Amino acid sequence: MRLLLDPQLNPATDSGWRRRWFDIIYRHDTPSSRNFDLLLIGLILASVLVIMGDSVPRFHARWSGWLYGLEWIFTVLFTIEYGLRLAVVRRPWRYALSSWGLIDLLSILPTYLSLLIPGSQSLLVVRVLRMLRLFRILKLTQYVEEGGMLVGALWRSRRKIFVFISAVLTVVVIFGALMYVVEGPEHGFTSIPTGMYWAIVTMATVGFGDIAPATPLGRFIASVLILIGYSVIAVPTGIYTAELASSLREASHERGHLDRRGCPQCGLEGHDPEALFCRNCGHHLPTPMG
Amino acid sequence: MRLLLDPQLNPATDSGWRRRWFDIIYRHDTPSSRNFDLLLIGLILASVLVIMGDSVPRFHARWSGWLYGLEWIFTVLFTIEYGLRLAVVRRPWRYALSSWGLIDLLSILPTYLSLLIPGSQSLLVVRVLRMLRLFRILKLTQYVEEGGMLVGALWRSRRKIFVFISAVLTVVVIFGALMYVVEGPEHGFTSIPTGMYWAIVTMATVGFGDIAPATPLGRFIASVLILIGYSVIAVPTGIYTAELASSLREASHERGHLDRRGCPQCGLEGHDPEALFCRNCGHHLPTPMG
Amino acid sequence: MRLLLDPQLNPATDSGWRRRWFDIIYRHDTPSSRNFDLLLIGLILASVLVIMGDSVPRFHARWSGWLYGLEWIFTVLFTIEYGLRLAVVRRPWRYALSSWGLIDLLSILPTYLSLLIPGSQSLLVVRVLRMLRLFRILKLTQYVEEGGMLVGALWRSRRKIFVFISAVLTVVVIFGALMYVVEGPEHGFTSIPTGMYWAIVTMATVGFGDIAPATPLGRFIASVLILIGYSVIAVPTGIYTAELASSLREASHERGHLDRRGCPQCGLEGHDPEALFCRNCGHHLPTPMG
Amino acid sequence: MRLLLDPQLNPATDSGWRRRWFDIIYRHDTPSSRNFDLLLIGLILASVLVIMGDSVPRFHARWSGWLYGLEWIFTVLFTIEYGLRLAVVRRPWRYALSSWGLIDLLSILPTYLSLLIPGSQSLLVVRVLRMLRLFRILKLTQYVEEGGMLVGALWRSRRKIFVFISAVLTVVVIFGALMYVVEGPEHGFTSIPTGMYWAIVTMATVGFGDIAPATPLGRFIASVLILIGYSVIAVPTGIYTAELASSLREASHERGHLDRRGCPQCGLEGHDPEALFCRNCGHHLPTPMG
In A, which residues are within 8 Å of C207 by CB distance? 206-207
The three-state secondary structure class of D11 is: strand
Within its chain, how far is the Cα of B198 from the centroid? 27
Is the Cβ–Cβ distance between D202 and D183 less than 8 Å? no
Q: What is the pLDDT of residue B8?
A: 61
Q: What is the pLDDT of residue B4?
A: 40
Ramachandran category for residue A133: left, alpha or beta (phi over 0 → left; psi -120 to 50 → alpha): alpha
A3-48 pLDDT, tens digit per residue, is 334 556 778 777 788 888 888 887 766 788 778 877 877 787 788 7
Q: Within an 8 Å CB–CB cutoff, is residue A138 touching chain B? A: yes
In A, which residues are within 8 Å of C230 by CB distance? none
Instruction: Report d(CA D162, CA D36) in Å as an integer.
Output: 39
Which DSSP category does D207 fall into?
-
Is the Cβ–Cβ distance between A260 and A236 less than 8 Å? no
**Phi, psi dihedrals of residue A33, rounded to the nearest 5°:** -70, -35
Q: Which residue of B has its CA nearest to A239?
A: B234
Is the Cβ–Cβ distance between D163 and C141 less than 8 Å? yes
Give the residue with greater pLDDT, A203 vs C169: A203
H or E segment to which residue A221 belongs: helix A216-232
Give the relative orientation of helices A99-106 and A109-116 as an angle to the nearest 10 degrees.
40
Q: Which residue of A has its CA nearest to C210?
A: A209
C106-148 pLDDT, tens digit per residue, is 777 777 776 776 544 444 444 445 455 444 444 444 445 566 6
Q: Within an 8 Å CB–CB cutoff, is residue B244 touching chain A? A: no
Best of D206, D210, D237, D255 to disrupt the A interface (most A CBs within 10 Å) is D206
Is the Cβ–Cβ distance between B114 and B124 less than 8 Å? no
Q: What b/e sequence results for B21-31 when a residue is b if at least 16 CB atoms lie within 10 Å of its CB, and e otherwise?
A: bbbbbbeeeee
Measure CA of the first residue to CA of the last residue in chain C; give whole Å: 41
A254-285 pLDDT, tens digit per residue, is 544 445 566 677 766 656 555 667 666 767 77
Q: What is the pLDDT of residue A258?
A: 45
Reference D59, options A185, A199, A191; nearest CA is A191
Q: Encode chain D (290 residues) as per-residue pLDDT tens digits.
A: 333 445 567 787 777 888 888 888 877 667 887 788 778 777 877 887 887 888 888 888 898 888 888 888 888 888 898 899 888 888 888 888 876 777 777 777 777 776 776 544 444 444 445 455 444 444 444 445 566 666 777 777 777 777 777 778 878 888 888 888 888 888 988 888 899 899 999 988 888 888 999 999 999 999 999 988 877 777 777 777 777 777 766 665 555 444 556 666 766 655 655 567 766 676 777 765 43
Instruction: Report d(CA B199, CA B228) in Å as an integer.
Output: 11
**Phi, psi dihedrals of residue B278, rounded to the nearest 5°:** -65, 130
- Neighbouring CB atoms inside 10 A of C195's CB total 28
B172-182 pLDDT, tens digit per residue, is 888 888 888 88
Instruction: Report d(CA A157, CA D48) in Å as an integer.
Output: 29
| HEC letters along C98-151 | CHHHHHHHHCCHHHHHHHHCCCHHHHHHHHHHHHHHHHHHHHHHHHCHHHHHHH
**Alpha helices (H) along chain B:** 16-26, 31-55, 57-88, 92-96, 99-106, 109-116, 120-130, 145-156, 158-183, 192-203, 216-232, 234-256
pLDDT exceeds 90 at position A198: yes
Is the Cβ–Cβ distance between B272 and C279 less than 8 Å? yes
Which DSSP category does A270 fall into?
-
Instruction: Report d(CA A88, CA A95) in Å as an integer.
Output: 11
Is the Cβ–Cβ distance between B154 and C160 less than 8 Å? no
Instruction: Report d(CA A178, CA A195) in Å as an integer.
Output: 8
Residue length of chain C: 290
Is the Cβ–Cβ distance between B130 and B107 less than 8 Å? yes
**In the complex, which subunits touch C with 3 or more CB pairs below 8 angstroms?**
A, B, D
C194-252 pLDDT, tens digit per residue, is 998 999 999 888 888 889 999 999 999 999 999 888 777 777 777 777 777 777 666 65
Q: Which residues contact A72 (CB under 8 A, 6 or more apart)?
A: A111
- Neighbouring CB atoms inside 10 A of B263's CB total 21
Reference B236, options A143, A237, C245; nearest CA is A237
Q: What is the pLDDT of residue C164?
A: 77
Instruction: Report d(CA A179, CA A171) in Å as an integer.
Output: 12
A125-168 pLDDT, tens digit per residue, is 444 454 554 444 444 444 455 666 667 777 777 777 777 777 78
Instruction: Report d(CA C177, CA C170) in Å as an integer.
Output: 11
Instruction: Report d(CA D197, CA D174) in Å as an integer.
Output: 12
> How many CA atoms, within 13 angstroms, populate the side-chain half-sphere of residue D51?
34
What single letter denotes the amino acid at residue B203? M
Q: Within an 8 Å CB–CB cutoff, is residue D181 touching chain C? A: yes
**In the complex, which subunits touch D with 3 or more CB pairs below 8 angstroms?**
A, B, C
- Neighbouring CB atoms inside 10 A of A3's CB total 10
Q: Which residue of C has its CA nearest to A58?
A: C216
H or E segment to which residue D208 belongs: none
Q: What is the pLDDT of residue A125?
A: 44
What single letter denotes the amino acid at residue D79? T
pTM of the entire predicted model:
0.77
Q: How confident is the model at residue B121 (pLDDT cuts 50, 70, 90)?
A: very low
Instruction: Report d(CA C53, CA D161) in Å as an integer.
Output: 28
How many angstroms away from the CA of B280 is the closest CA of chain D?
A: 7
Name which of B56, B201, B277 is nearest C279 (Cβ-Cβ). Answer: B277
Instruction: Report d(CA C211, CA C14) in Å as an integer.
Output: 63
ipTM of the complex: 0.74
Q: Which residue of A has its CA nearest to D243?
A: A238
Instruction: Report d(CA C188, CA C175) in Å as an integer.
Output: 15
**Alpha helices (H) along A56-133:** 57-88, 92-96, 99-106, 109-116, 120-130
pLDDT exceeds 90 at position B222: yes
Q: What is the pLDDT of residue D202?
A: 92
Contact: A276, D275; criterion CB under 8 Å = no
Q: Which residues contact A64 (CB under 8 A, 6 or more apart)?
A: A54
Average pLDDT (A209-223) is 91
Which residues of chain C from 204 to 223 reach within 8 Å of chain D, CB to CB? 204-210
Instruction: Report d(CA A204, CA D129) in Å as an integer.
Output: 23
> How many CA atoms, within 13 angstroms, populate the side-chain half-sphere of residue A78?
31
Best of B219, B266, B269, B283 to disrupt the D interface (most D CBs within 10 Å) is B266
Which DSSP category does B287 fall into?
P
How many angstroms away from the CA of C141 is the closest CA of chain B?
A: 27
Contact: C193, D181; criterion CB under 8 Å = no
Q: Within an 8 Å CB–CB cutoff, is residue B237 touching chain D? A: yes
pLDDT exceeds 50 at position B247: yes
Q: Which residues contact C235 (CB under 8 A, 6 or more apart)?
A: B150, B154, B240, C164
What single letter denotes the amino acid at residue A201? V
